[in-house]
A and B are shown apart, each in its own frame.
Chain A
Amino acid sequence: MAYAKLPRKGYEGVVLAAPVTIAYRRYSTQSAHGWIGRALRGLVEAAGITRQDIDGFSVSSFTLFPDTAIGLTQHFGLSPRWLDHIPMGGASGVLGLRRAARAVQAGDASIVACVAGDTNYVDSFRKSLSSFSRFAQDAVYPYGSGGPNASFALIASNYMRTYGAERADFGKLAVAQRANALKTPHALMKKPLSLDDYLAARMIADPIALFDCVMPCAGAEAFLVMHEETAKSLNLPYVHLLGAIERHNAHADDPIQHRGGWTVDIDELYAQAGIRPDQLSFVQTYDDYPVISLMQLEDLGLCKKGEAKDFVRANSFTFDGTCPHNTSGGQLSVGQAGCAGGYLGMVEAIRQLTDSALGGQVKDARYGIVSGFGMITYDRGLASAAAILGRA
């Protein structure tokens, strides 16, 4: 049946404020509820509001079981008129933002608390791997039980073979992120990392070696979404949402993933935001593995497909260098706190655009792109998303 696709509406008037990070820990005895609760308190304190002012609540977590967002309303004494639960890993930040933004625009909620938090018990990572998805349980985990490391080894290996990228290219991003992280107080990785360290690290699943892998940990990230007028009334520093896209299970016929869903919608994203890629002051990619960051640099339009290796060789990626990238250190150096990993870039971008970075501050940052990627339920990451934020 033929039908007309309605044009995308813009995100005029929608702003993000009150970036909150609850400092990560490698392991925690506290449940996800505790981490999310602390993030909520952080939001309330940062914005100078009460918990009753939060009338929209969006939660992302993998470790809330048996609860979902609704149980948390009673748990935290919230009575929102808009509620969402987005357990979509690395895409959680952008996805939560997109939905919250529309709720604010429609008047369904005035102040939406977007929170991602996960705990990490000593055995919870291993347990979550075997039951991450039905396809993983049936068709991935019984094959060596390497978890995402093994799955991304296949993707990385194919990417290297196809486009000629080398481990040193991946290493350059990891090393730059570590340099950024050394300025970030809550980053779990405190030691400097050299390219030699990176290259000499022990192999986990060829070609994925130790410093290609994130460290699972406990933590929480949060921000508020509201109308610009609300933020002004509250006297809060804020950033504009200029554009946002998501696309799931794209390119299903590619035998191995070498691109994500961004490629389908990226032109519309820049059109919606009214900027070009070369106007970006920084890039926050979802760095569960450096190879995925290379893929994003291409698919987000910073360079052509297959040319990320040249782009990597031509830039420095530190917060004070060219193409500042994952300026807090990213998950590779800060840690991967479950779904909070999908929020890390968003919260960092809000800080960079309000000159309130906890670590290295990008000078005169005007526009930033935040990319989300996640949910490798079988052989590829299914969710791709991106948002462009602008200085107020």
Chain B
Amino acid sequence: MVEPLLPPKRKNPLKRTRLPVSPPDIRSRQSHLLTAAAAEGRFGMPGCLECGAVHYPARDACPNCLSSRIGLIACSDRGTLAEATAVEVSNNVYFRERSPWRVGLVTLDAGPGVVAHLHADCVVRGRVKLAWTLDRSGNAVAFATPETPSANMEDDRQIREMTLDPKHRRVLITDGRTALGQAVAKALSAAGAAIVFVGIADPWKPFAGQDRLAAIAGVQIMPLDITDTESVRELADEIGGRVDIVVNTAEHIRPGGLLDRNGVNLAREELDSGYLGLLRLAQAFGPAMKFRGADGVNSACAWVNVFSIYAQMPWPAYGAYSAAQAAMLGASMSLRGELRSGGVRVVHIFTGPTEDEWFQPLPPPKVAHGQIANAVVDALRRGIEEAWVGDVAQDFRERLQQNAKALEREVGQ
């Protein structure tokens, strides 16, 4: 059994901060089949799309029938831990700093043997559950946990290297005025975050839910206007070295396509709070987080951006808004690339229309803010990089994968 993780001691500012180093990060193109699965928390094995045989490690031709049609095939994630060892002497700095590091060979019920990272409660010849998860290099790795969940499972020191668990970490939520921001604050507090900084633009202006927000355990209201570079800088100067997770909940939803608007002022506002807002936040908070990617129990670990699904495929009726979301998504993917070497993961949450006044005329189903908040916590706990919240978003994603052109015609119908 894993001992419950204690809150970290107060950091001695005179001590050197351990710099993040990456575990090995080179992979073959074919093995990124598993990175794609890990990014969304799916399980499957590389396998043959002709004969159905699964194999591992990922190959470019099926060892059963030599077909070159290889893809990810859904199969059981259960198996037996055949053998285990603890690497005391490693050739890689990341593992040297974390030795002994426990690994083993899992014989999957589906057949292949998989070298995997092990949870401390996995026993040799015992049953395990295997998952593809992202390691601190951002690549998929196999992680085995006991088939029957054990106590404090998420506190295992090796699993904490894979996940982005908010427990004992300090979070910044960028906009507490919205129902979404407030729901995320509540959920992260409940998930064990040590401090939940909540940004509020123009704090002297009252807003709905203000008292309830202030009453949430660990919440600290901070002045933050992401459309104002100075405001963002000032907050970063004050708390930038203590922010382990950023959840950017900024939203600025206005209807209208390109033709039924007069001028670009509204579009500029949308870009200012979306794309440029992200840029300001990234420049102010990104470097310190990247520096603190290996800073102990409460290391910097995640940057969450909440997007509309229309970032992926525009809805002409909300065309300008969709374009601003797409710009922000593009920037966010670059941010992912830039933060990866610091061990900080960028998480994208895609949601369909919410229960929001600006989506008022839309028919159900709509996504409740609490649902999005839970998806944020779930993504952090599982360490996934992409989540689609609610039925509309799930359906949208499937359509996008199957036929993007069809979805382009269908959006808004």
B113 and A144 contacting across the interface, CB-CB below 8 Å = no
Q: Are B104 and A154 in contact (CB under 8 A)?
A: yes
Please give, as numbers and ranges, the residues of chain A lying within 8 Å of B137 by CB-CB distance: 142
| A150: chain B residues within 8 A (beta carbon) | 85, 87, 103
Please state if B88 and A202 are interface contacts (CB–CB under 8 Å): yes
**Docked pose: A138 CA to B56 CA in angstroms:** 10
Chain A neighbourhood of B24, CB < 8 A: 130, 137, 141-142, 145
Interface residues in A18-35 by Cβ distance below 8 A to B read: none
Contacts of B101 in A (CB 8 A): 144, 146
State whether A142 touches B91 (Cβ < 8 A).
no
Residue of B nearest to A209 (CB): B88
CA distance A23 to B31 in the complex (A): 41
Residues of B within 8 A of A149 (CB): 87, 89
Cβ-based interface call for B372 (8 A): no
Report whether A158 and B88 are in contact in the complex, using a CB–CB cutoff of 8 Å: no
* Chain A positions within 8 Å of B28 at CB level: 134, 137-138
Q: In the complex, what's the smallest C-beta–C-beta distance from B322 to chain A, in angstroms?
A: 38
Residue on B nearest A123 in the bound complex, by CB: B91
Residues of A within 8 A of B91 (CB): 125-126, 129-130, 145-147
Residue of B27, B94, B105, B117 touching A379 (CB-CB under 8 A): B105
A130–B137 Cα gap in the complex (Å)?
Answer: 15
A146 x B89 contact (CB < 8 A): yes
| Pair B107/A143 contact, Cβ less than 8 Å | no
Known A-B contacts A142-B137, A255-B113, A256-B105; the reply to A206 vs B57 at CB < 8 A is no
Q: List A residues 354-372 near B (Cβ within 8 Å).
A: none
A47 within 8 A of B: no
Interface residues of A in 135-181 (CB under 8 A from B): 135, 137-147, 149-151, 153-155, 157-158, 161
Nearest chain-B residue to A135 (Cβ)? B57
Which residue of A146, A158, A208, A256 has the most chain B CB atoms within 10 A of its CB atom? A146
B83 near A157 with CB under 8 A, answer: yes
Known: A145-B91, A379-B105. A205 touches B115 (CB 8 A): no
- A145 near B87 (CB under 8 angstroms)? yes
Note all chain A residues with C-beta closer than 8 A to B95: 144-146
Taking the closest CB of chain B, its distance from the CB of A201, in whole angstroms, is: 11
Q: Which of B86, B113, B141 is A142 in contact with, Cβ under 8 Å?
A: B141
Tell me the bound Cα distance from A150 to B117 in angstroms. Answer: 12
Q: Could you say which residues of chain A place their CB within 8 Å of the CB of B105?
A: 154, 255-256, 379
Decide yes or no: A137 and B117 within 8 Å by CB, A158-B83, A256-B82 being known contacts: no
Closest to B98 in A: A144
Q: B165: shortest Cβ distance to chain A, in Å?
A: 21
Task: Indicate if B17 sits at the interface (CB-CB under 8 A).
Answer: no
Query: A126-B91, A139-B31, A379-B113 given as contacts; is B103 within 8 A of A146 (CB)?
Result: yes
- The reply on B116 being an interface residue by CB < 8 A is yes
What residue of chain A has the Cβ atom nearest to residue B90's Cβ?
A145
Name 17 A/B residue pairs within 8 A (Cβ), A-sorted: A126-B91, A130-B26, A134-B28, A135-B57, A143-B117, A144-B95, A145-B90, A150-B85, A154-B82, A158-B83, A161-B124, A202-B88, A204-B88, A205-B89, A208-B85, A256-B82, A379-B105
Residues of chain B whose beta carbon lies under 8 Å from any beta carbon of chain A: 23-24, 26-28, 31, 56-58, 82-92, 94-95, 101-105, 107, 113-117, 124, 135, 137, 139, 141-142
